[in-house]
Amino acid sequence: MWFLWITDNFSQIWCVKIKNVTFFCPLTALVLLVYGVCVQCRSTSHDGVLSPEASLRAMELEEGFEVALVAAEPLVVAPVAMTFDDRGRIWVAEMDGYMPDTAGTGEDAPVGRIVILEDTDDDGRMDKRTVFLDSLVMPRALCLVNGGLLMAEPPNLWFYEIHDGHPVGRSLVDSAYAEGGNVEHQPNGLLRGLDNWIYSAKYDWRYRRLPDGTWEKAKTHFRGQWGISQDNWGRLYYNDNSSNLYGDYFPPGFGAGNLGQRRVAGYGQTIVADTRVYPIRPTTGVNRGYMEGVLDTTGRLVNFTAACGPLIYRGGLIPGENAFVAEPSANLIKRNVLTEEGFRMTGKQAYEGKEFLASHDERFRPVNLFDGPDGALYILDMYRGIIQHSTYLTPYLKDEITKRGLARPLGMGRIYRVFPKDSKRHRVAMPRRTDSLVALLGHGNGWVRDQAQRILVDRQAVDATAGLRALLHGTARPLQCTHALWTLEGLGQLTASDIQTVLAHPQWQVRAQALAALPSLAGMAAKDDLVAIAEKAVANGDTLLVPYAALAVASLGTVREPAIMRIMERWATQYADNRYVADAIISAATGHEAQFMRAVAKRVPDTSMVVHKRLLSVVDAANERADRDNQEQLAKHYANGITLFRNACQPCHGEDGRGVSSIAPPLAGSEWVQGDKERLIALVLYGLTGPVDVGGHTYRAPEVSGEMPGIAHNPAIDDADLAQLLSYIRNAWGNNTGDEVVPEDLGTVRSKFGGRTQPFTQDELYELFGKH
């Protein structure tokens, strides 16, 4: 019998072993070296599917770190979201029905699950699987709260009581949580924030379960696409598929009270603008790989196209402020280093020309990232060939998938953890004693601090009140003080005196937390007294805290109330050219913007000041809302068109047609929508790439994604429905062209461009159809 072997260590002598005799052979050593690299870095099987161990070897990780397998199929399948419980078990949402083939056939099959993974011997590797829920259709998010499980199964948000480890008493929290859209553009995340609310990506509502078991739902800012994270001060971070990292400068519960404000300064800020990626393998299997500039000369992705799962790392093992972002299309995880400059966060990529983690394995699909109780960075890997949803799948990528057999196999998935090599694994076991949990609010691992707070709040451990209040006076451990503050808030024990205590803290970020918590006292303290506390906190002209104070007061009420009107007028005068303060003030003027603008004009006659400009834009937006009755009539007339719009267009262009910040420009008032009918049809059928002029402004990446995919080759969309969609947008939001698009119009345009697969540029469309 003949066989060869090679060592994993290239520094050893390479040999050929024939029968039972070993010979040194330099030529064979060279051949085997090349072959060994191919085996290690690419595939150990004919179909390109690597075992978990081989996939680990195919990874290149930043020096000084180690990656270890936590779980793999069949223990876990198609993981998309996870959370740890207080026993260190991992709860996983398995989206097993995602894209069974290039057409998405069978995505509505009830094959999804919520499973619990357990490490029974504490070796860091899960070895026990328990199915908690099955027969689910595309479950996408989960959150453990108040002794139960909150779980998103489109379109519903469900809450399950848990008794003896089993689901009981299912109740519907929201029947429209993930209504409309498609798998890539539906709410997800369900992140328990520092402020005891639950936040989502791709959504503008937040939730909270009250001690009596009822749910509260409140408006918040629309954020991101897939994945959401928070920093030590509870500020939220997110992205979309073409972006690196966005985030908020201010608390997540503030600034969303005035629906007329399209953007509120300090929210949806670009934190890391650089979208360059550095795959270590050719990545031709990306959706628009045929387009110039998407791939480099070696066939590698140039910029993010599927960015997701951002994580602000808080595990305590990696120094500095770090944000990690997954890119499944390029089989990598990026590391960004963040810097705090006052209340502004900025960041840059940690490395030039390389990534924190990258893989030669094409099926390595990291889709979400999490902190863990041991301080490690956890990676959810769907491990599959198809990652692009059928709604936007291009013929080019469909051909790539077919040629390389990427549609199979299904039913795989892995979880990994990354940690510094010199660190010793120590998983913190969450105690039962109240005083022990209070002590953990100062732990070095943010996951532990969060979990201790959540347990105390969920348990309504009011016996912790005295110990928590004592921590408010401490100055040496600001994060412990912060968690004590919000735990008191979650227990319903926070007082105005507590707020004033924390406002005396020497660190401004902690004082900001006191202002963030101030509105939670509404109903328990006189509103005028709360306004006075905020006013006094910034009486010295502290420009770092003034936006927080203004946002806090705005959350207490509107400018119709004399105390709020008085202080808002004063701040509008004092900080008339500060956009953060101006927008915070305007968030309290909902429905009374014109009145407030006249009052401000008496104090600040210079109309070039920021506060005037921002107020005027909101007043104009309020006037536009008069068209809503017309919208409702159009929606009824074009029922199929509005359904298609909500699924395919609304996630990027917004329900009001004004565009979603960082993704797409507006449709309302757009010359592309109002102009030549055939030009619009061509754009929608075949897509648009590059800069685009709308309303006198040039939109280009990173302000927007820089590309709109076409839908000409999507067999699930017929021309009758598409014609209704186009008729709807040409007459909605004040566009009022007064005409209709019919299916024959689409046939005419299709006949002109045949099987075209590449998107148009603006210049091409101008040349073909003119500018009007």
Identify the CATH number of the domain in which residue 673 sits.
1.10.760.10
In b/e form, how buried is each residue of 360-390, taking b as 16+ CB within 10 angstroms? bbbbbbbbbbbbbbbbbbbbbbbbbbbbbbb
The pLDDT assigned to 702 comes to 78
Assigned domain for 245 exists: yes
Does the structure show a pLDDT above 90 at 450? yes
The pLDDT assigned to 625 comes to 59
Tokens of 639: 């029922």
Does one domain contain both 504 and 410?
Answer: no
Helix/strand/coil (H/E/C) assignment for every residue in 143-188 = EEECCEEEEEECCEEEEEEEECCEEEEEEEEECCCCCCCCHHHCCE
Count of CB atoms within 10 A of residue 532's CB? 14
Q: What is the mean pLDDT of the chain?
A: 90
Lowest mean pLDDT among 18-32, 422-436, 581-595: 18-32
Q: Compute the distance between CA of residue 29 and CA of residue 31 in angstroms, rounded to an integer.
A: 6
Q: Please say whether the beta carbons of 243 and 524 come within 8 A.
A: no
Give SS3 for 698.
strand
The pLDDT assigned to 765 comes to 94
Sign of CA dihedral 229, 232, 235, 241: negative
Nearest to 728 by CA among 625, 618, 640: 640
**Bridge partners, 216 (sequence order):** 208
DSSP state for residue 645 in the 8-state scheme = I
Query: What helix, strand, coil percent values describe the chain, rounded to 5?
Result: 35, 25, 45
Does the structure show a pLDDT above 90 at 635? no
Does the structure show a pLDDT above 60 at 39? no
Mean per-residue pLDDT, 320-329? 98
The pLDDT assigned to 629 comes to 59
Lowest mean pLDDT among 78-92, 128-142, 192-206, 705-719: 705-719
Does one domain contain both 620 and 755?
Answer: no
> Cis peptide leading into 74, omega within 30 of 0?
yes
Does one domain contain both 620 and 642?
Answer: no
Q: Compute the distance between CA of residue 689 and CA of residue 518 in angstroms, rounded to an integer.
A: 46
Last residue in a domain, options 624, 653, 681: 624
Does one domain contain both 256 and 343?
Answer: yes
Q: Please say whether the beta carbons of 38 and 58 come within 8 A.
A: no
How confident is residue 152, by pLDDT bands cut at 50, 70 and 90?
Answer: very high
Does one domain contain both 703 and 758?
Answer: yes
Does one domain contain both 593 and 663?
Answer: no
pLDDT digits (tens, 9 = 90+) for 114-132: 999 999 999 999 999 999 9
How confident is residue 735, by pLDDT bands cut at 50, 70 and 90?
Answer: confident
Assigned domain for 178 exists: yes
The pLDDT assigned to 624 comes to 62
Helix/strand/coil (H/E/C) assignment for every residue in 497-519 = HHHHHHCCCCCHHHHHHHHHHHH
pLDDT digits (tens, 9 = 90+) for 260-311: 888 999 999 999 999 999 999 999 999 989 988 999 999 999 999 999 999 9
Last residue in a domain, options 591, 624, 657: 624
Lowest mean pLDDT among 54-58, 305-309, 648-652: 648-652
Give SS3 for 57.
helix
Q: Compute the distance between CA of residue 389 and CA of residue 408 in angstroms, rounded to an integer.
A: 15
Does the structure show a pLDDT above 60 at 45? no
pLDDT digits (tens, 9 = 90+) for 208-240: 999 999 999 999 999 999 999 999 999 999 999
Assigned domain for 425 exists: no
Total domains present in the chain? 3
Last residue in a domain, options 624, 649, 664: 624
Does the structure show a pLDDT above 60 at 7? no
Does the structure show a pLDDT above 60 at 21? no
Assigned domain for 633 exists: no
Mean per-residue pLDDT, 454-476? 97
Percent of the chain surpassing pLDDT 90? 75
How confident is residue 38, by pLDDT bands cut at 50, 70 and 90?
Answer: very low
In b/e form, how buried is each residue of 121-138, taking b as 16+ CB within 10 angstroms? eeebbbeebeebbeebeb
Assigned domain for 631 exists: no
Tell me the residue range of the domain where 67 lies.
52-420
More confident site: 176 or 713: 176
Tokens of 339: 């810097």
The pLDDT assigned to 623 comes to 64
Does the structure show a pLDDT above 50 at 456? yes
Distance of CA 509 to the CA centre of its chain: 24
DSSP state for residue 14 in the 8-state scheme = P
Assigned domain for 709 exists: yes
Does one domain contain both 327 and 182?
Answer: yes
Does one domain contain both 403 and 490?
Answer: no
* Alpha-carbon Rg for the chain in angstroms: 28
Does one domain contain both 589 and 507?
Answer: yes
Assigned domain for 36 exists: no
Q: What angle (nearest 5°) sits at the alpha carbon of residue 295, between those of residues 294 and 298? A: 170
Identify the CATH number of the domain in which residue 179 sits.
2.120.10.30
Assigned domain for 23 exists: no
The pLDDT assigned to 532 comes to 97
Residue type, 416: Y
Count of CB atoms within 10 A of residue 677's CB? 20
Q: Compute the distance between CA of residue 493 and CA of residue 729 in angstroms, rounded to an integer.
A: 50
Does one domain contain both 597 and 691?
Answer: no
Does one domain contain both 251 and 372?
Answer: yes
Distances (CA, A) of 768 to 606, 742, 772: 46, 21, 11
Q: Compute the distance between CA of residue 325 and CA of residue 601 in angstroms, rounded to an integer.
A: 45
Does one domain contain both 169 and 200?
Answer: yes
